[in-house]
Structure 1
Amino acid sequence: MEGLVQNIISDTSYEFSKNIAAFQETYGSRVVFSELNNDDLREKLWQRLFECLSDNLQSSLHHSCLSVLRILSRDKTKLNELITDERLGIIIDKAALKNMDAKEHTYTNVTIEALKLLFNLIFNSTNVQEILLKTSCLQCLIERIKNYSDDIPYEIMLFDTRIVFLITALNIATRQIIKTELNGDKCLVKLLENITSREEKSHIIKEGNVILLCEMLKALFNLYMNSDNTTEDVKNDLVLTLRRLLLSKCEKEDDFHSNIANLLMVMPYDCYSVMIPLSKEKHKQIYQNKDMSAIYVLLKFLDRRLDNKNDLIGNLAPVVTTLIRMVKAERLIRKYTRLQILPPLRDVMHRPEEGTTLRAKLCKLLTSPVVEVRDLVAEFLFILCKENVARMVKYTGYGNAAGMFANKGLLGSSRKKLTYSSESEDSETEEYLKHKEQINPVTGCFEHPKPNPLEGMSEEQKEYEALQLVGLVDKLTRFALLFIYEYNIIRFDVYNIFGYFREGVVHPCRIGDDGRPKPIEHVLELQEELPKQQYTRQDSDSD
């Protein structure tokens, strides 16, 4: 490489053109150029390339120079020092972002290559992120987006929106500038609407346009995140457009729906009503005269994401958060979503977490070690159950939901009243009523009757076993070993028992007045608390 770079630095025009073409072909996929750390080769190469870019007589070489700079800009080494105000100005000029009058520009391959280079520099250089604010680049960029013509090259639109997304992601100060001072969000929403209207005429949104739309959605997410000063009309129009996009057929559907869900997550609660317009049509997704098709698509997307076991937080948190906000905001969305996820209970022979239904997949996550996902899923299901503990136990099993109940202080009997609609959302099924008394509330499924372990014992034997049990419990209390007292059953966790003895990490507990576990001081406290803590079956779906 050193020889080729030396030739580029010292070449005549003909040899220069030949050698930079060779550099592009040979090193086009490289990311790091450690060879340039010797003899100031990096600085000399950048200097030579910018000398060519500054010379209009060598305009035929400008595309190749920008391409080489784009390749070199992948390496962060000394990038902040290499990009001066003057050099950044040259790049901005080549990207047609120096003059506010967009109509004067003719877009060429040089423009596109300069935009690609600018994108790399913003990504890799904090210096560029700051200098950019001192230039007219952002103003020209938003002005160009506002005035896109029908014949604007696709790559110009793609990298314009990518730059808006990237700069607003990396430099928070630019969000306010683009949104408030330049009204960049409004022009992006309008562009999104225009492309959506155009694409709806075709049968499917092609991959290229899906990528472009995703970049716009990501840019809008940055602009609306932690923002509340946008007019309601703009956001209502945006949510309506997002609904149209959800219902469109497209390539790369998963990425597309992911970005739509992300943007819906930062919309105000009062905008979600436009997701379920009135409809006189008759099809499966009509619920109480409202078209729930968009909600159905989001639930299908959630179902697909639940099958992906990698990056649970990244895959599930946005869509689950979006659905939580929607079911909180709109009663009919909650009722429809509940019917899709927690329909009237018919299968009582299997545990809630067994199977491939949405309910089963979500219940599995209630005991996930990924706390963020576990808590989000628990909150989602709890809201679908109208924050009713008995109903949550019915659909998920007490064992799956106990952690959430403890965190929320819902283990006790005193719970605050919640404001949900009072009408019944479904009735008990015959299957559920038939086996209701044999359903174990801990596991959430039917269990065959078990033999009584005390059967056949004399009263003396029972008394002896009871005294033995009291003695063992007292020992465990003094050694601070965890045991759980629930439903008249004492269960012992003897894993790593001696470690627990030494450290006193866990203690026997009772349920305090706040509905959370409290350590006990004496074993007899359990007996005193037992009548208060018995689980009462109140699992009717009638409100």
Structure 2
Amino acid sequence: MEALIVSMIPAFDARNEADICNKLQEFNKENAQTFTFPELGSETKKKFIGDVLQSLEAAYNTECYCLCLEALRIMSREKHHLYQLAQKEGILLLLKLAGLEEKPNANQNDQVIIEAEKCLCNLVFNSTAVQQICLECDCVRFVMDRVKLYTTRDPQIPMEIKFFDMRLLFLMTALCSSTRSQVRNDHNGIELLTGILERDVLANATPIPHPPTEPSSNGTTDLGATGGATGGEETAMEGLIAAMNAVSTADTIKITEEEANLACEVYKALFNTVIHSKLKEIEQEEESGVLKRLGQACYKMLLTETTSPAKTEECHSQTINLLTCALPLSCVEELTPEPGVGSVARAGLVYRGRNMEAVSSIMRFLEMRVDRAAAAKKLRVVEQLNPVLSALCVLCRRSTHIRRLLKDTVLPPLKKDEACHLPEEGCRIRNKLVRLMTNHSTDIKEVVADFLFILCKESVTKLIKYTGYGNAAGMLARRGLLAGGHGNTDYSPDEEDSDTEEYKDVRNEVNPVTGRVESERPNPMEGMTDEQKEVAAVELANMIHRITREGVIQPMSVSDDGKLIPMMDIVQKAAMQPLREEASDDDDAIA
């Protein structure tokens, strides 16, 4: 490596363009997959970077510029020892070549712009110094200025430049918090980024028609038209669950890999732009209707297919990440449009008069991630599951339609055979989620419990019915609800929970701790004399005292406010009570 770079010095010193290109081609080919350069001396590396930067300032041809920028991109992969690349002069040169300056060169070659932006993305990601320089040089403003030209410039800006514009914007908004409000407020960021999704991703998407489902009299099949849970209504509920798990029957669309990549970067930039914004700040966009357009774009993206299942999953994942933000109701409602309204030509899953295909897509995404996490023990469960569960919590709180649908599909009325098994046993989505309530990750078990609690309208009784007291105890303790009651009661009052007739027959036999019907067990003290029972009780008390003293367990009790408190505090409080009463009597006597 060092020998190759040393051999370039004569070509750089002589400013021989042909030799420089030949040597750079050799270097770039050899290091196409190299990310660190531990064997390269600091002086040699510094000299090489300096020579390449000088070549970029010379009047060489486009091919030489691209080769120089490709070499710098390779060197910028290393996090440390960036030298001139992390200095203002080098960054200003790269910004100029990327067309990110006050008066960009209108004749700048597109490939040069792309290579320069690749370098900037690497440097912003790896260096806090570069992040600060880009802030001082108004990098974000120049990116947003170019975004405004996407619809007006002739010829059109290539898709690859748009992709790296969004990649650079995502990195800056992720790593420099001050740029987030700048994008949203100073540059009308939400509207501009939504426009990219509409024009450059979804406008030219190819429809993928599906065979039509059997319609009802109004042209759709409404799976939420019935209520309750008996007889034919149970069949309707089973049909709803099957429809939620089935592949979409609505008209979906297909986008290219290039469009999918751009969409992912736009959604990441949008997420950074709104994640720390207050709801009232985002609602200011409602007058222009951009929030409805954003909701419509999210709806379409959740029904989008692309070149591969992995890329489709990535698109859906980034869309779901955005839905974890506190988006206004006007945006969320566009995820469940009325059939036949706007661009929704035909719906495959209609529930209570709303198109639920997008919500169904999120649920299929969740179940796929849950199954993958269960199959791969080393998988990073938090990163896989937390965003989609958080998004569902947000959506259920914002939309009654969504919460009702998910309640009917995730926690449908129980049957007798379900009541005879532990809530965590089985292959339904309820069983899978209950298993996660005791996951080793605190983040996962808390967000799963919150999701199920919201579906139960934050009723402790309903949650225990579906999960068992043991699985829910952690969440109830965290919220101070171990003694029962409700959490937030701001839910629609017109929804009643219905039990199946067969569940009603065994309801009184369900053990609330385990959440299932327990078979009768023999009395372990049957046949023992009173003296033997007393000895066994003393032995048990001694064992509990020993493991308590050694710190193995700590006996707890539930206080009046529904929280756990140590039993020792109760004992000490009880022991102090007679002393307080005695002191009070003495005070009365003195008086």
Fold match by TM threshold 0.5? yes
Q: Are the counterparts in 1 of residues 49 and 84 from structure 2 also a CA contact under 8 Å? A: no
Instruction: Please show how residues 223-234 of structure 1 align to structure 2 within 5 Å.
Output: 223-228=273-278, 229-230=281-282, 231-233=284-286, 234=290
Match of 2:515 in 1: 444
Of 370-379 and 305-314, deviating more is: 305-314
Confirm whether residue 274 of structure 1 aligns to residue 334 of structure 2: yes
Q: Distance in 2 between matches of 1:59 and 1:523?
A: 80
Of 315-324 and 200-209, deviating more is: 200-209
Change (3 A) 1:88 1:122: same
Confirm whether residue 391 of structure 1 aligns to residue 462 of structure 2: yes
Q: Are the counterparts in 2 of residues 52 and 58 from structure 1 also a CA contact under 8 Å? A: no
Q: Are the counterparts in 2 of residues 43 and 82 from structure 1 also a CA contact under 8 Å? A: no
Question: Which of residues 189, 209, 221 in structure 2 aligns to 1:184?
Answer: 189
Q: Distance in 2 between matches of 1:345 and 1:235?
A: 39
Question: Which of residues 65, 69, 93 in structure 2 aligns to 1:66?
Answer: 69
Q: Distance in 2 between matches of 1:88 and 1:165?
A: 18
Question: Which of residues 350, 356, 360 in structure 2 aligns to 1:296?
Answer: 360
Q: Distance in 1 between matches of 2:66 and 2:256?
A: 29
Match of 1:257 in 2: 316
Question: Which of residues 475, 480, 483 in structure 1 aligns to 2:542?
Answer: 475
CA deviation map 1:5-41 (0-9, x unaligned): 1221221413222211111111221111233325x11
CA deviation map 1:70-98 (0-9, x unaligned): 11111233215543322222211211222
Q: Distance in 1 between matches of 2:428 and 2:99?
A: 53
Q: Distance in 2 between matches of 1:67 and 1:82?
A: 13
Note the C-alpha offset of 1:182.
Answer: 2.5
The two structures, once aligned, show a CA RMSD in angstroms of 2.6
Change (3 A) 1:284 1:436: farther
User: Alignment partner of 2:365: what SS?
Assistant: helix
Note the C-alpha offset of 1:435.
Answer: 2.8
Match of 1:29 in 2: 33
Q: Are the counterparts in 2 of residues 397 and 444 from structure 1 also a CA contact under 8 Å? A: yes
Of 198-207 and 397-406, deviating more is: 198-207
Change (3 A) 1:430 1:524: farther
Q: Are the counterparts in 2 of residues 348 and 431 from structure 1 also a CA contact under 8 Å? A: no
Q: Are the counterparts in 2 of residues 477 and 522 from structure 1 also a CA contact under 8 Å? A: no
Confirm whether residue 338 of structure 1 aligns to residue 428 of structure 2: no
Confirm whether residue 42 of structure 1 aligns to residue 42 of structure 2: no
Q: Are the counterparts in 1 of residues 423 and 515 from structure 2 also a CA contact under 8 Å? A: yes
Confirm whether residue 365 of structure 1 aligns to residue 448 of structure 2: no
Change (3 A) 1:294 1:425: farther
Match of 1:120 in 2: 122
2:338 aligned partner, one-letter code: L
CA deviation map 1:374-432 (0-9, x unaligned): 01101111111111222111111122112222222222256678343333444211331
Match of 2:214 in 1: none
Question: Which of residues 546, 551, 554 in structure 2 aligns to 1:507?
Answer: 554
Q: Distance in 1 between matches of 2:486 and 2:53?
A: 71
Question: Which of residues 202, 214, 232 in structure 1 aligns to 2:264?
Answer: 214
Change (3 A) 1:176 1:80: farther
Change (3 A) 1:4 1:272: same
Note the C-alpha offset of 1:300.
Answer: 0.9
Match of 2:241 in 1: none
2:256 aligned partner, one-letter code: K
Q: Distance in 1 between matches of 2:569 and 2:97?
A: 79
Q: Distance in 2 between matches of 1:179 and 1:416?
A: 34
Q: Distance in 1 between matches of 2:485 and 2:54?
A: 77
Match of 1:3 in 2: 3
Of 225-234 and 277-286, deviating more is: 277-286
Instruction: Please show how residues 366-381 of structure 1 align to structure 2 within 5 Å.
Output: 366-381=437-452
Confirm whether residue 87 of structure 1 aligns to residue 90 of structure 2: yes
Match of 2:229 in 1: none
Instruction: Please show how residues 125-164 of structure 1 align to structure 2 within 5 Å.
Output: 125-149=127-151, 151-164=156-169
User: Alignment partner of 1:451: what SS?
Assistant: coil
Q: Distance in 1 between matches of 2:425 and 2:487?
A: 32
User: Alignment partner of 1:114: what SS?
Assistant: helix
Confirm whether residue 410 of structure 1 aligns to residue 481 of structure 2: yes
2:538 aligned partner, one-letter code: G
Confirm whether residue 463 of structure 1 aligns to residue 530 of structure 2: yes
2:111 aligned partner, one-letter code: N
Confirm whether residue 171 of structure 1 aligns to residue 155 of structure 2: no
2:137 aligned partner, one-letter code: T
User: Alignment partner of 2:565: what SS?
Assistant: strand
Q: Distance in 1 between matches of 2:202 and 2:474?
A: 47
1:298 aligned partner, one-letter code: I
Q: Are the counterparts in 2 of residues 342 and 395 from structure 1 also a CA contact under 8 Å? A: yes
Note the C-alpha offset of 1:290.
Answer: 1.5
Change (3 A) 1:30 1:287: same
* Structure 1 unaligned regions, length at least 5: 482-499, 526-543
Note the C-alpha offset of 1:192.
Answer: 1.3
TM-score by length of 2: 0.79
Q: Are the counterparts in 1 of residues 2 and 40 from structure 2 also a CA contact under 8 Å? A: yes
Higher relative contact order (CA 8 A, sep 6+): 2
Of 508-517 and 362-371, deviating more is: 508-517
Q: Are the counterparts in 2 of residues 80 and 127 from structure 1 also a CA contact under 8 Å? A: no
Change (3 A) 1:87 1:453: closer
Confirm whether residue 313 of structure 1 aligns to residue 373 of structure 2: no
Of 432-441 and 160-169, deviating more is: 432-441
TM-score by length of 1: 0.85
